């Protein structure tokens, strides 16, 4: 259970009527030529979706600014009021690298890697979550809307509800939510569920994630669940408080991707990429964080066997694998990098020629302009994650294919598979099936490729990240209106 202390003090009200809470602030620190420091907006769909909402309201964003052992005062950047939450080096190690990414991340991704459970990690997690909640409680105005983001902050809704019962609180889980059979392993499972149920509206990527959460609430808390509403009796409350759980699949900034896809310099860069690879008939592309959930070794194994079987020739096809660095201080990630490095080396050593490279392996992060150029250069996109909440790379590839060409090989274990049904869906654990699907993608007739891509583009263009945020926030606003109407109806006439 969440540890209970003395009743929380009355929080000082702020004047921000819309507050976003995430582990990181939506800015990165910059250094100019003279050594001066500044801030620039971080890339990413979440910032793109919520910046206009914040500009239209009196909005604030609460999060860590990225540097441990440093305390900053709140500041403004590009029409956003930013409230930094300080973290010590120990807290980064225990709360973030430990509990968030070595306990929760593998547990929520079907225990592809074994999760570790340590009480010191849990202690740091709930202490940091309380600090985030206190920062929000101080920034939010009376009756404000608060939107908490992702698995690092699952206790914030409950703590915030205790501090500020006047707030409307939403929570969105960007990663999968596990079934009860897996979630049962977590020693603090009840506390996590109670933390989430502090929110009025809890959003998930897929209907299955929503169902898993509802089943866990019923099984581990004894909550009453009906029509995606969870009623949980809490000490000190005369009536059970209801929370609502719904799927809200996240998407991308479609307009930005399409704008870049028709820009002459980006098109020229795509052509240059093909020329640098010797203009092969087929370029295949994988773009992932270097994470064990992404299925990169499965993809490389299948590709290596296709070369061995002679179904792909290095003179005709090349695989570009972008694997951006991720959590390199965590042991499982260090071991994964060694595995991938070794596989790429063996395949290239066996099949490279003086003119051709089997796999162009890029262990870097790239700006969005370069990513769109890669999407334009690639004939086949390989998204073979073993488990993924959504996978926005698949949607970015589709959005970039403005001429309705190309093929998407998509793991059925991604959230994107629910929306992109015209992709070539595959079980990445089935290496033979993966090989067959890659071969089919390479040989796909232009008419069929165009039909599939048009269907996927319709879905992505109609459901961009702005629609995602509108859908969530309008649902939360509707709940607030219903609650206000219910309170008004309870007042005696004449008051």
Residue-level pLDDT, tens digit, the chain, 495 residues: 444 444 455 556 888 999 999 999 999 888 877 777 889 888 776 887 787 777 777 799 999 999 999 999 999 988 889 999 999 999 999 999 999 999 999 999 999 999 999 999 999 999 999 999 999 999 999 999 999 999 999 999 999 999 999 999 999 999 999 999 999 999 999 999 999 999 999 999 999 999 999 999 999 999 999 999 999 876 555 556 789 999 999 999 999 999 999 999 999 999 999 999 999 999 999 999 999 999 999 999 999 999 999 999 999 999 999 999 887 777 778 889 999 999 999 999 999 998 999 999 999 889 999 999 999 999 999 999 999 999 999 999 999 999 999 999 999 999 999 999 999 999 999 999 999 999 999 999 999 999 999 999 999 999 999 999 999 999 999 999 887 766 555 555 443
The burial of 75, by beta-carbon neighbours within 10 Å (0-12 exposed, 13-18 middle, 19 or more buried), is given as middle
Contacts of 459 (CB under 8 A, 6+ apart): 419, 420
CA atoms of 3 and 40, how far apart (whole Å)? 38
Compute the residue count for the chain: 495
What residues are paired with 21 via a beta bridge? 62, 148
Q: How many CB atoms lie within 10 A of CB 490?
A: 7
Nearest one of 390, 467, 419, 463 to 205, comparing CA atoms: 390
pLDDT at position 2 is 45
CA atoms of 164 and 139, how far apart (whole Å)? 11
Nearest one of 330, 316, 321 to 302, comparing CA atoms: 321
Residues 390, 300 contacting (CB under 8 angstroms)? no
pLDDT at position 375 is 98
- Catalytic one of 174, 341, 363, 418: 174
CA atoms of 43 and 79, how far apart (whole Å)? 16
pLDDT at position 464 is 93
Taking CA atoms, 428 is separated from 107, 301, 435, in Å, by 19, 11, 9
pLDDT at position 114 is 94
pLDDT at position 1 is 45
In this structure, the strands spanning 168-172 and 201-204 are parallel
Nearest 5°: the CA angle 311, 315, 316 is 60
Q: Is 298 a catalytic residue?
A: no
The burial of 78, by beta-carbon neighbours within 10 Å (0-12 exposed, 13-18 middle, 19 or more buried), is given as middle
The burial of 208, by beta-carbon neighbours within 10 Å (0-12 exposed, 13-18 middle, 19 or more buried), is given as middle
Most distant CA atoms of the chain, gap in Å: 89
CA atoms of 380 and 371, how far apart (whole Å)? 14
Contacts of 17 (CB under 8 A, 6+ apart): 57, 58, 59, 140, 141, 143, 144, 145
- Catalytic one of 253, 288, 388, 464: 388
Q: Quick one: tokens of 402?
A: 């403005």
Q: Is 388 a catalytic residue?
A: yes
CA atoms of 479 and 490, how far apart (whole Å)? 17
pLDDT at position 7 is 43
């Amino acid at each position: 259970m969440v540890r209970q202390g003395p009743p929380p003090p009355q929080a000082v009200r702020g004047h921000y009527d819309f507050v976003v809470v995430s582990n990181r602030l939506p800015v990165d620190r910059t250094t100019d030529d003279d050594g001066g420091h500044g801030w620039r907006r971080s890339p990413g769909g979440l910032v793109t979706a919520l910046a206009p909402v914040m500009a239209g309201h009196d909005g604030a964003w609460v999060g860590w600014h990225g540097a441990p052992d440093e305390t900053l005062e709140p500041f403004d950047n590009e029409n956003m009021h930013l409230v930094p939450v300080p973290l010590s080096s120990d807290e980064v190690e225990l709360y973030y690298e430990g509990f968030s990414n070595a306990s929760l991340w593998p547990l929520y991704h079907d225990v592809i890697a074994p999760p570790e459970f340590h009480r010191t990690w849990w202690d740091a997690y709930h202490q940091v979550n309380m600090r985030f909640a206190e920062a929000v409680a101080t920034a939010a105005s009376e009756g404000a809307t608060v939107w908490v983001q992702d698995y690092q902050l699952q206790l914030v809704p409950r703590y915030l509800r205790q501090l500020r019962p006047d707030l409307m609180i939403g929570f969105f889980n960007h990663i999968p939510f596990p079934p009860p059979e897996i979630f049962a392993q977590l020693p603090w499972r009840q506390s996590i569920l109670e933390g989430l149920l502090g929110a009025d509206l809890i959003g998930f990527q897929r209907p299955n994630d929503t169902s898993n959460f509802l089943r866990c609430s019923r099984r581990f808390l004894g909550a009453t669940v009906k029509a995606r509403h969870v009623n949980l009796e809490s000490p000190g409350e005369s009536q059970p408080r209801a929370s609502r759980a719904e799927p809200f699949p996240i998407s991308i900034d479609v307009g930005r991707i399409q704008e870049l896809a028709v820009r002459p310099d980006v098109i020229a860069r795509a052509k240059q990429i093909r020329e640098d690879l010797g203009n092969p008939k087929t370029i295949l592309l994988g773009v992932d964080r270097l994470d064990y959930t992404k299925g990169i070794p499965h993809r490389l194994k299948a590709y290596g066997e296709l070369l061995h079987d002679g179904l792909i020739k290095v003179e005709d096809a090349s695989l570009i694998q972008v694997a951006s660095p991720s959590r390199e201080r965590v042991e499982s990630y260090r071991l994964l990098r060694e595995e991938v490095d070794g596989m790429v080396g063996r395949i290239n050593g066996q099949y490279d020629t003086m003119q051709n490279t089997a796999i162009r392996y890029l262990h870097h992060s790239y700006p969005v302009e370069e990513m769109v150029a890669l999407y334009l250069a690639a004939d086949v996109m390989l998204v073979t994650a073993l488990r993924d909440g959504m996978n926005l790379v698949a949607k970015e590839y589709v959005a970039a294919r403005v001429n309705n060409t190309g093929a998407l090989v998509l793991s059925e274990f991604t959230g994107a598979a629910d929306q992109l049904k015209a992709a070539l869906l595959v079980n990445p654990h089935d290496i033979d099936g993966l090989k067959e699907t890659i071969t089919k993608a390479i040989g796909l007739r232009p008419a069929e490729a165009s039909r599939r891509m048009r269907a996927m583009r319709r879905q992505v263009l109609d459901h961009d990240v702005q629609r995602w945020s509108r859908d969530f926030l309008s649902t939360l606003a509707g709940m607030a209106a219903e609650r206000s109407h219910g309170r008004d109806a309870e007042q005696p006439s004449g008051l």
